[in-house]
Amino acid sequence: MAPVPATTDSSPSLYSIPPVLAMLAVIPFVYVGYRVFRYTKLKHFRLAPIRTLFALLHSIAIYLIAPFFYSPDLTRYINRWTVVTGGTDGIGKAYTIELARRGLRKFVLIGRNQEKLSDVKTLLELSFGCRVKTYLFDFAKDDFEQLREYISNIDVGFVVNSVGVGRENLERYGDNPAADRQILKINGLGAAEFLSIVLPAMEKAGGGQIVVLSSSQGYRPIPLLAAYSASKAVMSFLCEAIDREYKTISVQCLTPALIATKMVYYTKGGLFVVTPEQFAKQAVNTIGLTSKTSGCFNHEIQVRDRSFIFFYLFMYCMCSIYVLYVLQTSTRNRHGTCRSTVKKKHH
């Protein structure tokens, strides 16, 4: 899931920015218009609508037509363990509940908050009659070798890897080293290390299915969210490689856009933002259909736009965001407010 920078109530409003400075933010938009006009002369650009049409048809087939004729076969995993990271909140929790609703009954929940682990455990046991184990583990500092030993003794058939952290503010890479380090360590190295733990156990047990939560921000490098987009790109590339390396293990990479969770400060779904429950229901339907998808139709349409909008055009759009960031930062400094750091919630 892709996080969205947010300001606290104590931060100054953009309306407090001097008008002359605010007008500077318009310049990049004018330049974007010029670049669009220039790109229309390129032969490659004229082919973009065709690619976009095929991408749209593919999205319609997967999310609107396929559900009438296809349902993922999860019966092979009913008597095997489903291991979940990041399953105590947001997308991971909703995805776990959706799997239980569809018949899976054995879960291993891995997270760093024992109270939340116990709450989800109780929910699964009372609502669905599941057998649930919990494993207390902090992906930022705990021993992966101990986790490896624990997983090696389990018949793992299904894995949901949704551990991750986000950040509250737009920041240049290097301005907040602690936040950058934690994002890369948990979202990238930690999530990747976890896959190296479950793969041998799954292969030994006869294979299975892995679902990894990446982000649409992993498709392209995002200025001011460099560490986050880089960590998600790591997982996207890793998933594609692993899916080809293991014959008995299928790996699906989910690349959603905005989802109404605590990480992005949205509480309701809409046209571009969906709820975790809406996302999980559609995402589970795509198991076995595709190895990489946004997880829901709303987000797939947004992500498919990259077939039409060139990367460089996107980068020019980001210039406007950067200008607003600079103006916002200068205003915040004048008011004496402090800079936000990494979101500390990870499960």
Q: Which residues are catalytic?
A: 228
- In SS3 terms, 289-320 reads as CCCEECCCHHHHHHHHHHHCCCHHHHHHHHHH
Q: Is the four-CA dihedral 100, 106, 110, 113 of positive or negative sign?
A: positive
Question: Cα–Cα distance between 325 and 304 in angstroms, integer?
Answer: 27
CB proximity list for 42: less than 8 A, separation 6 or greater: none
Distances in whole angstroms, Cα of residue 183 to Cα of each of 30, 44, 112, 186: 34, 36, 16, 5
Amino acid letter, 189:
L
Closest CA relative to residue 48, chosen from 59, 61, 36: 36
Q: Print burial letters for 6-25: b (CB count within 10 Å at least 16), e (below 16).
A: bbeeebeeeeebeeeeeeeb
Distances in whole angstroms, Cα of residue 44 to Cα of each of 33, 50, 247, 305, 313: 18, 11, 37, 15, 14
Residue in the structure block whose two tokens are 């319609």:
60
Amino acid letter, 153:
N
Question: Cα–Cα distance between 129 and 89 in angstroms, integer?
Answer: 20
Question: Cα–Cα distance between 76 and 166 in angstroms, integer?
Answer: 34
Question: Cα–Cα distance between 118 and 146 in angstroms, integer?
Answer: 21
